Structure formats: C-alpha cells, structure tokens
Amino acid sequence: MTKSLQSVAKIIIGKVGAARGLDGTLKIIPLTDFERRFDALEKISVGGKIFRVEEIKHIGGQLFIKFAGVDNRESARALTNKFLTVDRKDAAPLNDGEFYTFDIIGCEVFDGDKKLGTVTNVLKTGSNDIFEVDGNILIPALKAVVKSIDISAKKISVNSNAY
C-alpha cells in the first residue's frame, strides 16, 4: 500500500492550551498518536508563525513548551487555542498498513463495484478505528472488513458482508 504526500501540506500535531506560570510556558494538547515527537522539536509553526522551541517539559502526564520570544503570560495568552503544525514531509514515519487519518478522510469506499460513499470522519474507539461514510455508514477498520486502502487513488475496498 502506498503512502502519499499529496494535498495536505501541513499536519496539525497539537493545540496550544493555557499559559503556565509567568515566563510564557504553554500547556500543549497533543493531537497526534506520536506524542514523543515533541521531544525532538527545534522549531514549529504555531498559528502559522514559526517559533524556536526553548524547552519541553512533561509534568504529570501533561506537555508544556516554552517558545523563544514568548517570555511572559500575556504573550503566551496570545497563542492560546492556536494549532501547532509541521510540514507534511516531516510527518512521523508509518509502518506498512498504517495510514494517517487525514489521508483516509476523503477516500471513496467501495464494496465490489458498488460505491458506498466517501469517508467523512475517522472515529477513534480504542480497539479499532471506525470509518464514517457520508455521515450515515459506519465501517470498522478491521482486516476482515477492509480489503484494501489505496491512498494515491483515494479508494478503500471493503467487504460489507463482514460487518
């Protein structure tokens, strides 16, 4: 199965939460399955502006980042609710058979020659993902159900008899 670097130029990996303390440190809400990727960051785009990372802390299961030039609570507050993004080319590598959610969304789903619709959302259940198709069909992302995924063709083949 192929991996594509198609239309998605930026990947959201987190969201800025509240300021922590007075020095401009910010709580970060990870929006990635690869949370440890933050540990290696030197620069990151926050709300479309590039910031150099000064310090990363993990405290009590939470993530905090101090950005260069964000040196007080007021300047930190200005970044609250902005998204942290990286270039698509810097996406964490995947194993064979793994796909990014943003690559799955927009794929057309077929059962044989019959088009079932287009994936509009991917629901994370813990045990397996569920592809939401046109808001009214739920397809479990299980090997017994999903026969193939071709990201470059934006096509998913399923066996609807298996669910």
Give the neighbor-by-neighbor strand order of the sheet with 137-140: 137-140, 129-133, 114-124, 108-111, 155-158, 146-150
Task: Round to whole Å and give the CA distance between 160 and 10.
Answer: 33
82 closest CA partner among 28, 9, 22: 28
Query: What residue spans in the chain does CATH classification 2.30.30.240 cover?
Result: 101-162
pLDDT digits (tens, 9 = 90+) for 48-92: 999 999 999 999 999 999 999 999 999 999 999 999 999 888 888
> Between these two residues, 87 and 25, which has the higher pLDDT value?
25
Note if the pTM is more than 0.75.
no
Share of the chain above pLDDT 90, in %: 70
The dotted CATH code for 10-90 is 2.40.30.60
Share of the chain above pLDDT 70, in %: 95
85 closest CA partner among 129, 38, 122: 38
pLDDT at 139 > cutoff 90: yes
Check: CATH 3.30.70.20 for 101-162?
no
Query: What residue spans in the chain does CATH classification 2.40.30.60 cover?
Result: 10-90
